[in-house]
Amino acid sequence: MCNSDSSTPICVPSDMFLPWTLDPSRMFNIPRIVCGGMGVLPVVIARSVSLHVPCLPSLSNSVPLNLASVPFPLHKNDSPASVRPGDDSNPMRAILAEPFQANYSSCLGPLNLYIKERPKHGFWQSSPHIKWLDHDMEEVGPGNVIYVAFGSQSYTTDVQKEEIALGLEKAGQPLIWVVRSSTWIPPVGWEGS
């Protein structure tokens, strides 16, 4: 992003899929704004492992890791080799460490405020989905609606989607599931598409 009156960059917008933006932004002393679309759990796990399990490379996969900040046991192979401790030259290590060194400020959003024309699809205040959520929250209480979205980097087959749908149905909770697929059809009896 640049100032309107000059071509001097004021920040470098980035995310976890653009790790190469870290070095140039540091080199030119330009703030790097990272839009974090994934949850905090993977970052907490990576940080906890790097701080409390320096011997991870030598551990057997059969040895469970019980970390105080993670509510379930982990095994060495639960994390990809690219983020395991031991290789300080790996660029992923710098990316995972960055959130703990960052100067935090308020959220830069919602980013959709910059969209001049609202898309035809989406969750806007007038959307029936928002009205449904508001109604359901009154009925079942806050925090009891499941929101499921795997993101654009995830790939699931239609068979996997069917299995996930069955599991969600068995949970018996109201839910919103964002699915990007041109071939998968929700189970009979499910609302919306």
Kindly provide the b/e burial profile for residues 71-94, where b requires at least 16 CB atoms within 10 angstroms of the residue's own CB.
Answer: eeebebeebeeebbbeeeeeebbe
Would you state the pLDDT for residue 138? 66
pTM of the model: 0.38
For the chain, the first-to-last Cα distance in angstroms comes to 36
User: Domain ranges in the chain?
Assistant: 41-86, 118-178
- Over the stretch 5-36, which tens digit does the pLDDT of each residue have? 555 667 787 877 777 888 888 898 888 877 76
Residue 109 has pLDDT above 80, yes or no: no
The three-state (H, E, C) secondary structure of the chain, written as one string: CECCCCCCECCEEECCCCHHHHHHHHHCCCCEEECCCCCCHHHHHHHHHHHHCCCHHHCCCCCCECCCCCCCCECHHHCCHHHCCCCCCCHHHHHHHHHHHCCCCCCCCCHHHHCCCCCCCCCCCCCHHHHHHHHHHHHHCCCCCEEEECCCCCCCCHHHHHHHHHHHHHHCCCEEEECCCCCCCCCCCCCCC
- Over the stretch 31-61, which tens digit does the pLDDT of each residue have? 887 776 666 677 777 777 777 766 666 667 7
- Residue 149 forms beta bridges with which residues? 178
